[in-house]
Amino acid sequence: MTTLAPPALSPRRESWLSRAEAWLDAKGKGAWIAAMVLGFIFFWPLGLALLAYMIWSKRMFNGNCSRAARWSNHGMRAMTPSGNRAFDAYKEETLRRLEHEQAQFESFLERLREAKDKAEFDQFMEERARRTEADMNDDTDGETGPDAPRRA
């Protein structure tokens, strides 16, 4: 009984393009990016072709290098119970305390912003009042011309 399996490609029968792709895959995403940058430097159509291939083959956006994906997995795991009731109670109390402290800090920041805004507004109003007062004094003291009131 024989099975119909495709013959394994020997390194000689494998094209240089396939070998280069396998070598870059073994080195990781950084090697692909370096090859693309070098392609742009030496012959820009080659760099553009590598960029298009990386996007088309999803090498540019694969999820295994994403920090956000790793952190979201940790965050979801933190919410599941561990099985140890004492630890789960401690974790719940700590998370509740941290949320409370975060809310207090955010309200502090809000009060700080309001105080800063009020101080800036008060300063603006004082400067405006001084300017208006100075303009009024200048108008009454130095008025000359045909419309100015005559002094006796």
One domain, residues 69 and 52:
yes
Question: Is position 1 within any domain?
Answer: no
Residue 1's pLDDT is 47
Question: Is position 152 within any domain?
Answer: no
One domain, residues 107 and 63:
no
pLDDT over 90 percentage in the chain: 32
Question: Is position 57 within any domain?
Answer: yes
Where helices occur in the chain by DSSP H, the ranges are 16-27, 29-42, 44-56, 67-78, 85-141
> Is residue 66 scored above 60 in pLDDT?
no
Residues in the chain: 152
One domain, residues 98 and 122:
yes
One domain, residues 88 and 119:
yes
| Higher pLDDT among residues 23 and 6, named by residue | 23
Domain boundary among 73, 92, 112: 73
Mind listing the pLDDT tens digit for each residue in 7-31?
554 545 678 878 888 888 888 888 8
What pTM, to 2 d.p., does this model score? 0.37
* Average pLDDT, integer, range 124-137: 90
* Average pLDDT, integer, range 137-151: 61
User: How many domains are there within the chain?
Assistant: 2
Residue 125's pLDDT is 95
One domain, residues 85 and 65:
no
CA distance 62 to 130: 63
Report yes or no: 84 and 90 within 8 Å, Cβ to Cβ. no
Question: Is position 10 within any domain?
Answer: no
Largest CA distance in the chain: 131
Quick one: residue 83, left, alpha or beta (phi over 0 = left, psi -120 to 50 = alpha)?
left
Residue 100 belongs to domain spanning: 81-139
Question: Is position 34 within any domain?
Answer: yes
Residue 29's pLDDT is 82
Quick one: residue 58, left, alpha or beta (phi over 0 = left, psi -120 to 50 = alpha)?
left
CA distance 104 to 42: 56
Question: Is position 3 within any domain?
Answer: no
One domain, residues 24 and 48:
yes
Question: Is position 7 within any domain?
Answer: no
pLDDT band at 69 (very low <50, low <70, confident <90, very high): very low
Question: Is position 89 within any domain?
Answer: yes
Among candidates 92, 67, 66, 98, which has minimal Cα distance to 78? 92
* Average pLDDT, integer, range 33-47: 88
